[in-house]
Amino acid sequence: MDRIRIHNMSFYGHHGVAASERDLGGRFQVDVELGLDLRAAGESDAVADTVDYKAVYDLVAQIQESHRFRLLEAFAHAIAEAVLDRFAVEEVTVRVRKASVPLGGLIDYAEVEITRRREN
């Protein structure tokens, strides 16, 4: 299976378990990896034969802006389900990272990765 990867889409969102995280907001990064056959796009060199990266970015941004998730897991799941619903892909992997997670110590970020496949 071929892959399209969009890395480090960055957003400022109001997601988190603690009310203070949802009120103040924070930085989130999202990676989306699409699994599909890219042979037609490779042969035609036409956007119509692939997945438009901007459309994926716009979808992620819309989900991020229209919801306040408590869990990174729910955020990633919503993105994966929407991608499968909207685009002709067989598989999607979503990684959501959050910096400044209040864990009582210093970390670079917390990350959730999920993979969903189209059910036949």
Catalytic residues: 98
Tell me the CB-side half-sphere exposure of residue 51, using CA atoms within 13 A: 28
